Chain A
Amino acid sequence: MEMLYTFPNTHTVISAEQVLLLAALPVRVMPVPNAITAGCGLCLRIAQEYRVRAEAEMMKHSIEISAVYERKDGNYQLLGS
């Protein structure tokens, strides 16, 4: 299972990516799936096992998360926004 995070803008996505990579958390930037938001944009994907650490790191660095999704059976379930 994996988590997907959206952010207010692409610059925040990259800030979050840098913070997570610095914390040695394997993260990937990907286009925001249309199932979540129609239009362009970027989001972060990370394995579910890293969720707690990832969110702690982002909170520590005051990274504003727009929404958190969990991908299960090919669908995205909104966990919080």
Chain B
Amino acid sequence: MIYLDNAATTMPKPPQVVNAVAEALNTCGNPSRGAYGASLESLRCMLRTRAALAKMFGVENPMWVAFTMNATAALNIAISGLQGHIVTNAAEHNSVLRPVYRSGNYTIVPLDPLGRLDLEQVEQSIRTDTEALVMTHASNLTGNVYDIHAAGEICRQKGIKLIVDAAQTAGLLSLDMKKDGISALCFSGHKSLYGPQGTGGICLNAGQYQPDPLAVGGSGSESFSPKHPHMLPDALEAGTQNAHGIAGLLAGVDYINTMKGAVFHDADRHARRFINGVRQVPKVVLYGDVDAQLRTPVVALNIQGMDSAKVADILNEYYGIAVRAGAHCAPLMHEALGTVRTGAVRFSFSHFNTDKEVEQAICAIEEIANNKGGY
């Protein structure tokens, strides 16, 4: 199989991640629940992971990193804690849009036909009762990257919070909570941080914003208090944490740090080669700002006259290429691109893909577009 669905979950994982999880399964007990070696080792592993993530994202205090099962859970916590008006934009995934819709008090800034966002429009949408701007760092559909630093400046000037969905960029592109003025940064561990599924988290600038937890329960301390602890990270980590997965997440973060930028640059090279290859093919329509200087290694396309699901099915069945078709949980981005009816075929690359795999994917698209395979 040629795996090109890395925007959903990276695969394969570095061997270090696999080994770390396997080792943790037999050495890490329940964190916070005992004072014996295996339990403490679990707690120590979580602390090391918090510290590594805090360093990666410029979080002031490692205790302001709380683990969640994925970015969706983190975004739900971050957005549910808002009381006032929310500004967001049409590039967002449903993990942002649905919690925002539920708040009932929001403005959604539209995109241009290439899926780009005008930050002046964002600024104009901020009202006196606006509490936060919620913004993705990159589109999960087009790979367009949005300027978080500039958004942070706007939020600073307006005195509102900035909540960032970093699901598509954590581990690939640099983010710094302090420098970028981020109040809450939500990430998943199983994408470009190369960790296992079921890992993710929320990093907070807790001096500015600490949302209430969605779940309360066991915390390993203050057991006779009817109230769940307010102190981070306990406040947002009710119940047994996924320490085995977190051990893998730490190995993923360490791997990225060791690779010194190659994780992004390799994937970026693959995506750009793929773009240059398929854009020559008649009938292929590419979406998004594909020539942008900075983008994530995600490419969305359609072949004119063909259903995106059919293309994905052919790629899987005849070429062994795994991609994702349909709406990608990004309904408003599809509206901007004009692909609501057709959906799109998304190719997303990782550092572990090879040049040969990219060439095979380009050839497959050429053949399908020219209907050479008699599918």
Contact = CB atoms under 8 A, between A and B. Distances in A.
B122 to A, nearest CB: 36
Contacts of A42: 32, 35, 220-221
A14 B49 CA distance: 13
A26 interface: no
Given A10-B220, A11-B233, A40 B40 contact: no
Interface stretch (B209-217, B223-231, B249-257): B223-231
A11 B47 contact: yes
A77 to B, nearest CB: 22
A15 interface: yes
B221 A9 contact: yes
Contact of B221 (A10, A17, A18): A10
Given A11-B63, A39-B223, A40-B223, 19 more contacts: A9-B221, A9-B231, A9-B234, A10-B31, A10-B32, A11-B47, A12-B63, A14-B40, A14-B44, A15-B47, A15-B62, A15-B63, A17-B44, A31-B34, A39-B224, A39-B225, A40-B221, A41-B220, A41-B221
Counting chain A CB atoms within 10 Å of each CB, the highest count among B50, B223, B229, B233 belongs to B223
Given A12-B63, A14-B40, A39 B221 contact: yes
B46 interface: yes
Q: How large is the interface on A (under 10, 10 to 19, 20 to 34, 35 or more residues)?
A: 10 to 19
A36 to B, nearest CB: 12
Interface residues of B, number: 24
A10 B40 CA distance: 10
Interface in A1-44: 8-12, 14-15, 17-18, 29-31, 38-42
A14 B221 contact: no
Interface in B69-110: none
Interface of A: 8-12, 14-15, 17-18, 29-31, 38-42
A10 B63 CA distance: 11
A33 to B, nearest CB: 11
Contacts of A40: 33, 220-221, 223
24 contacts: A8-B229, A9-B219, A9-B231, A10-B31, A10-B220, A11-B32, A11-B43, A11-B46, A11-B47, A11-B63, A11-B233, A12-B63, A14-B40, A14-B44, A14-B47, A15-B47, A15-B62, A17-B40, A18-B47, A29-B35, A31-B34, A38-B223, A39-B223, A41-B222
Contacts of A9: 219-221, 229, 231, 234
Contacts of A10: 31-32, 43, 220-221, 234
A30 B34 CA distance: 8
Contacts of A30: 35
The 6 closest A-B pairs by CB, nearest first: A39-B223, A41-B221, A10-B32, A31-B35, A39-B224, A14-B43
Nearest to B230: A8
A64 to B, nearest CB: 9
Counting chain A CB atoms within 10 Å of each CB, the highest count among B33, B34, B221 belongs to B221
